[in-house]
């Protein structure tokens, strides 16, 4: 078998055979298939799709490329969450310790930023000393002693996905539903969690722009999880406006700590609690109240232990960008739109994301929001503050914000989208 024949099959809208899928995933993992060849196949999949049989086999092949973990030794039921990626989506940071404070164990394997969306590991690495890379033994120890762990997937866990994940980010193939579904579910099934809640984003700042595409992705992943014995449910959530008031790395960590302290933006708190309830129900924990665990400080206690257990200092000052630029309201009235995608691109261009898979990210870079849709603003009032260590990036970031927001006359009625749009189980 050879890479060219596999590429041609999908290029010509054919169905990949189980043998072709098994071979190409194994050969790419071993380095026999080159990055440029897999990039061509990924693009063919993006353009021509895969059927359910192909997606299931692709996912199984990625799982088979490495090891599978087991948490049977834990005294708690396990529950995990995965987001398909958004702008300002820092939910994992307060969510994992919150669910742990309510009695479940949360083995949260997270990733780096993809395109305009932020990565949980990039955010947490802005905390001095914090380590994303843990051995399986270290991961199990942190999980057993604190109730939650957020870390990178080890080299032995779905290594095919690790290579594909980075390649998709820099070849314009992030949005392919089969590749998103298999990437997420191969890691989650191999991880060994007992239950899984998926946060599938919908809107301009998400990879799924329409509710129909989001339902297709969610249904695909729920089926993959269920067929593998993992209790899986998905929430479709709005990503037309950034979540919270920050998009970046250290900026989002700061906001997450505010949520754990009982404050923070209302939309972040609402979604965190909604996902916590789903995770606890999936884990079979019926009597815990996540809202109470946020209010009484128990979730914050788990956060501090979790960060410290991974080498981080929960009391350390977070990095701050050296330069700021303020974007002001062009008129007085009601802010009726603040486009999540445009804000995400601005944060990426400021240094919060990467253009190549080997690029570093700036811990302090990003965008701070001073108003959200529905708020009344006045001419000259700060709307956004841009943060970066490299001020020459401001002009490039500002171009992405041209047309990113609308201000309507005072008194204009505004109805926000609900945070949770649908539930698929």
* Whether 93 and 173 share a structural domain: yes
What secondary structure does DSSP assign to 304-322, as a single string? HHHHHHTT--TTSPPP--S
Q: Write out the two tokens for 162.
A: 């690790």
Domain membership of residue 64 (yes or no) is: no
- 172 part of a folded domain: yes
What per-residue confidence (pLDDT) applies to 151? 94
Whole-number pLDDT of residue 166: 82
Q: What is the pLDDT of residues 111-135, one digit of tens each?
A: 887 678 878 999 999 999 999 999 9
State yes or no: is 168 an active-site residue: yes
166-177, pLDDT tens digit by residue?
Answer: 898 789 898 899
The arithmetic mean of pLDDT across residues 278-286, rounded, is 96
pLDDT at 395: 97
Question: Residue 43 and residue 390: Cα distance in Å, rounded?
Answer: 33
The Cα 184–Cα 188 span in angstroms is: 6
Whole-angstrom distance, CA of residue 178 vs CA of residue 54: 9
Which of 82, 215, 231, 349 does the annotation list as catalytic? 82
pTM: 0.90
265 and 287 in a single domain? The answer is yes
In a domain, 149, yes or no: yes
**66, part of any domain:** no
Please check whether residue 244 lies inside any domain of the structure: yes
187 catalytic per annotation:
yes
Do 157 and 220 lie in one domain? The reply is yes
**E-assigned strands of 172-230?**
195-202
3-state SS, residue 70: coil
Higher pLDDT, 80 or 136: 80
Q: Which of 80, 122, 161, 339 is catalytic?
A: 161
Asked whether residue 106 falls in the same domain as residue 231, the answer is yes
Determine whether 387 is an active site residue.
no
Q: Which residues contact 14 (CB under 8 A, 6 or more apart)?
A: none
List, for residues 395-422, the tens digit of each pLDDT value.
Answer: 999 999 999 999 999 999 999 999 999 9
**pLDDT over threshold 70, residue 53:** yes
Average pLDDT over residues 284-298: 95
135-152: pLDDT as tens digits = 989 999 999 999 999 998
Please name every residue paired with 235 in a beta bridge, in sequence order, or none if there are none: 199, 423
- CATH code, domain carrying 397: 3.90.1170.30
Determine which one of 168, 188, 215, 277 is catalytic. 168
**Tens-place pLDDT, residues 199-230:** 999 999 998 999 999 999 999 999 999 988 99
**281 lies in the same domain as 162:** yes
Which residue range(s) make up the domain with 357? 323-408
Say if residue 369 is in the same domain as residue 266. Answer: no
Residue 5 falls in the annotated catalytic set:
no
The count of structural domains within the chain is 3
Query: Which residue among 83, 110, 182, 183 is the active-site one?
Result: 183
Question: Percent of the chain, pLDDT > 70?
Answer: 100
Per cent of the chain over pLDDT 90 is 87
Say which CATH number the domain at 22 has: 1.20.970.10
**Closest by alpha carbon to 90, among 215, 255, 211, 232?**
255
Cβ neighbours of 5 (radius 10 Å) = 10
Give me the pLDDT at residue 262, please: 94
Residue 152 contacts residue 139 (beta carbons within 8 Å): no
Catalytic member of 90, 187, 349, 354: 187
The pair phi, psi for residue 54, each rounded to 5°, is -65, -45
Residues 38 and 102 both lie in one domain: no
Task: Give me the pLDDT at residue 357, please.
Answer: 66
The DSSP result for 264-286, as a single string, is: S-HHHHHHHHHHHHHHHHHTT--
Name the average pLDDT for the chain: 95
The phi and psi torsions of 151 (rounded to 5 degrees) equal -155, 175
- pLDDT value at residue 254: 98
* Segment 65-76, tens digit of pLDDT: 999 998 989 999
Which candidate, 132, 35, 114, places its Cα nearest to that of 355? Answer: 114
Query: Is 82 one of the catalytic residues?
Result: yes
Based on the fold, state whether residues 35 and 88 are members of the same structural domain.
no
Residues 151 and 223 in one domain: yes
For the chain, the first-to-last Cα distance in angstroms comes to: 39
Which pLDDT score is estimated for 272?
98
Which residues are paired to 387 by β-bridges?
A: 324, 366
Question: Distance between CA 81 and CA 194 in Å, rounded?
Answer: 11
Q: Tens digits of per-residue pLDDT, 17-28?
A: 999 999 999 999
* Per-residue pLDDT tens digits for 350-376: 999 887 767 889 999 999 999 999 999
Q: Are strands 231-238 and 420-424 parallel, antiparallel or unpaired?
A: antiparallel
Q: What is the pLDDT of residue 144?
A: 95
Confidence of residue 336 (pLDDT cuts 50, 70, 90): very high
């Amino acid at each position: 078998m050879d890479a060219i024949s596999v590429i041609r099959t999908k290029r010509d809208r054919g169905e990949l055979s189980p043998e072709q899928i098994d071979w190409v995933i194994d050969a790419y993992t071993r380095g026999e298939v080159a990055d440029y060849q897999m990039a061509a196949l990924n693009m063919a999949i993006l353009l021509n799709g895969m059927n359910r049989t192909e997606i299931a086999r692709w996912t199984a092949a990625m799982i088979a490329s490495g090891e599978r973990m087991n948490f049977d030794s834990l005294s708690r039921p396990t529950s995990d969450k995965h987001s398909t990626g958004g702008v300002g989506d820092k939910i994992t940071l307060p969510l994992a310790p919150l669910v742990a404070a309510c009695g479940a164990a949360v083995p949260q394997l997270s990733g780096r930023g993809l395109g305009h969306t932020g990565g949980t590991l990039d955010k947490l690495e802005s905390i001095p000393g914090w380590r994303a890379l843990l051995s399986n033994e270290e991961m199990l120890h942190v999980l057993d002693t604190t109730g939650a762990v957020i870390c990178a997937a080890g080299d032995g866990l779905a290594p095919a996905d690790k290579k594909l994940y980075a390649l998709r980010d820099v070849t314009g193939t992030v949005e392919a539903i089969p590749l998103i579904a298999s990437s997420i579910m191969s890691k989650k099934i191999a991880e060994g969690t007992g239950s899984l809640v998926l946060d599938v984003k919908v809107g301009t700042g998400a990879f799924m722009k329409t509710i129909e595409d989001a339902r297709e992705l969610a249904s695909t992943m729920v089926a993959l999880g269920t067929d593998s014995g993992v209790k899986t449910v998905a929430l479709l959530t709005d990503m037309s406006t950034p979540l919270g008031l920050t998009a970046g790395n250290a900026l989002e960590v700061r906001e997450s700590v505010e949520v754990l302290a009982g404050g923070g933006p209302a939309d972040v708190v609402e979604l965190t609690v909604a996902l916590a309830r789903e995770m606890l129900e999936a884990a079979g924990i019926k009597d815990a109240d996540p809202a109470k665990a946020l209010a009484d400080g128990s979730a914050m206690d788990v956060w501090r232990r979790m960060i410290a257990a991974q080498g981080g200092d929960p009391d350390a000052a977070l990095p701050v960008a050296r330069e700021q630029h303020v974007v002001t309201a062009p008129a007085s009235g009601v802010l009726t739109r603040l486009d999540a995608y445009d804000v995400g691109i601005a944060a990426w261009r400021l240094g919060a994301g990467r253009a190549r898979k080997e690029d570093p990210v700036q811990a302090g870079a990003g965008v701070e929001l001073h108003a959200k849709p529905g708020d009344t603003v006045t001419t000259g009032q700060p709307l956004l503050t841009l943060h970066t260590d490299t001020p020459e990036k401001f002009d490039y970031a500002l171009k992405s914000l041209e047309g990113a927001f609308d201000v309507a006359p005072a008194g204009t009625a505004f109805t926000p989208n609900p945070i949770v749009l649908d539930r698929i189980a």
